Structures are given as structure tokens and as C-alpha cells.
Amino acid sequence: MKHLPNILTLGNLFSGCIAIAFILNSQPFLSEINGQQYWIVGTTQAYYGSLFILLAGIFDLFDGMVARWLGVSSPLGKDLDSLADVVSFGVAPSMILMKMLWVAWIQKPHAIDVSMTWLAPAFLIACFGALRLARFNHSPATTSYFTGVPIPAIGLVVASFPLINLYNPLNIGTSMQSPWIIYGIIGILCWLMVSKIKLFTLKFNQFSVKKNWVQLAWFGLTLISFPFLKILAVPFSFLLYIALSFAHKPSEA
């Protein structure tokens, strides 16, 4: 039983590796929407890549819970968790953004090939994610807030991008075919990970509505948003998490 948390963490890493394989194997294709040509990044392979990033997130959620439940937390488990998170929520999402940048640049006039110079910024997600994890591992322990956005949240929101591209709700998928918008998204996500913003954790503090109002508000509004926003509920939930964190004043405990 004492090895169960590490097994779950390895499930996280394994899922991240499979996600990378699917994403690299995805081949975007040209379609037509409302009489305009439109590149589809959200192919079947990219879709499965997003699902395996989600599965990695489920493993990541439960490995810590099980470790605390069994009372078997260790430095080894903490380091292993960080290594798995870099792959599943750093490298795999970077691959998604690289594919999106490739499609965005290939649409430009006379773009026969795309230089890696224009695609390389996608991997800043993995780099800043690693930096955020290293800082987290050497920061004083706190159970009431995170400093900077956790890398799993970044990974999960990027995992929604192929599906936003596929279904193109509110023409947002079309807008995300601009390389400059993608660069802007990368810059914002990298900054959020290493920022000093204090964000609430999803752990409930006893059984008090007053003490857990921010978690309950985020969870409730996220659930309500899914029938209306569908896949856009993922970035909505991400933005809501940040907005509620500004409204919430965490204790220093």
C-alpha cells in the first residue's frame, strides 16, 4: 500500500507520454467553414492527446490524496510528482501549442516550410512549468493557497485548445489561428505560473460553507457553465479560478 501513491504518479507520467505520442502523430487538415478555408488541429489523435492529459490530471489529483490518506508522503514522491507534472502538463501541452503555431504560420503567403525559430516559443510552457515546480518544492509549505498558477491547471486549459479548434465555438477557434494570439497566450500562461499571485487551493477547510465559499463558488459555476459553454467551460473555469482568487483573501496558515 505504501507504494500506491508513486504508482499513481507513474500513471500520470505514463498518460503524459501517451498524450505526447498522440499529439505528435496528429496531422492537421484543411477544411471549409462558412465558405472560408480553416485548418483543423483538433484531429482524432489530438483529441486523444487531450484526453490523456486529462487522465494525467486525474492521476495527479489522487496520488497526493492517497499519500496523505496513507501517511506515506516522502521527498522521493514529491520529486517524482514534479517530474511527472513537467511531462504531462508542460511538455505535452507544449506539443499542442507547437502544432497550433505550425498551422498558424503555414497559412501565411509563400509558407512552404516553417522554421523551428517560430515554433520554439511553444516550449516555454514546459520551461516555465519546470521553474514553477522547482520553486514550489523549495517554498515553505502552505495548505491555504498556491503562489502562481499550478502547472496542472495550465496543462488542462491548453488541452482544451484542440477541441476549441475543432468545434470553433463563437469563432474563437478561428481567432486562435493567428500566431500572434498564440504567442500572447503562451506569454500570459508562462507569467501566471511564476507570478506572485496567491490562488486558493481546492482543498476544503473543515465542513464550513463560510470558510469554503470560494471553492464552492468555483465548483458550482464551473458545473453550471458546461451545458451552456461546452468545451469553452474549460477556459472559463480557468479564468474564473483566477478571478475568484483575487476576490478571496487566503490566510497565511
Q: How far apart are CA 93 and CA 86, in angstroms?
A: 10
Average pLDDT, the chain: 87
- Coil, helix or strand for 160? coil
Segments making up each domain of the chain, as ranges: 4-197
User: Which cell numbers hold the place of 129?
Assistant: 512549468
3 state SS of 31: strand
177, 52 Cβ separation under 8 angstroms: no
The C-alpha atoms of residue 248 and residue 240 are separated, in whole angstroms, by 12
Of the pLDDT bands very low, low, confident and very high (cuts 50, 70, 90), residue 112 is low
Q: What is the pLDDT of residue 54?
A: 96
- Specify the pTM: 0.89
Nearest to 104 by CA among 36, 178, 161: 178
Q: What is the pLDDT of residue 145?
A: 78
Confidence of residue 237 (pLDDT cuts 50, 70, 90): very high
Mean pLDDT in residue range 89-113: 86
Question: Which stretch of 22-36, 90-104, 204-218 has the lowest confidence by average pLDDT?
Answer: 204-218
Residue 91 has pLDDT above 60, yes or no: yes
At residue 130 the predicted structure's pLDDT band, cuts being 50, 70 and 90, is very high
Which amino acid makes up residue 10? L
* Predicted local confidence at residue 253, as pLDDT: 44
Residue 206 pLDDT: 63
> Which residue in 103, 95, 125, 96 sits closest to 179, CA to CA?
103
Q: Across the strands, what pairs with 33? A: 36
**What architecture (CATH level 2) is domain 4-197?**
Up-down Bundle (1.20)
Q: Which grid cell sits at 156?
A: 488542462
d(CA 25, CA 134): 30
Give residue-wise pLDDT tens across range 30-63. 777 767 777 887 778 888 999 999 999 999 988 8
Q: Which residues pair with 39 in a beta bridge?
A: 30
Higher pLDDT, 130 or 203: 130
pLDDT grade for 68, boundaries at 50, 70 and 90: confident
pLDDT at residue 44 in the model: 83
Mean pLDDT of 115-137: 93
- Reported as a single tens digit per residue, the pLDDT across 178-218 is 999 999 999 999 999 999 988 888 776 666 666 678 888 99
pLDDT bucket at 69, cuts 50 / 70 / 90? confident
Taking alpha carbons only, the member of 81, 95, 91, 93 closest to residue 11 is 81
The pLDDT of residue 202 is: 76
CB of 98 closer than 8 Å to CB of 119: yes
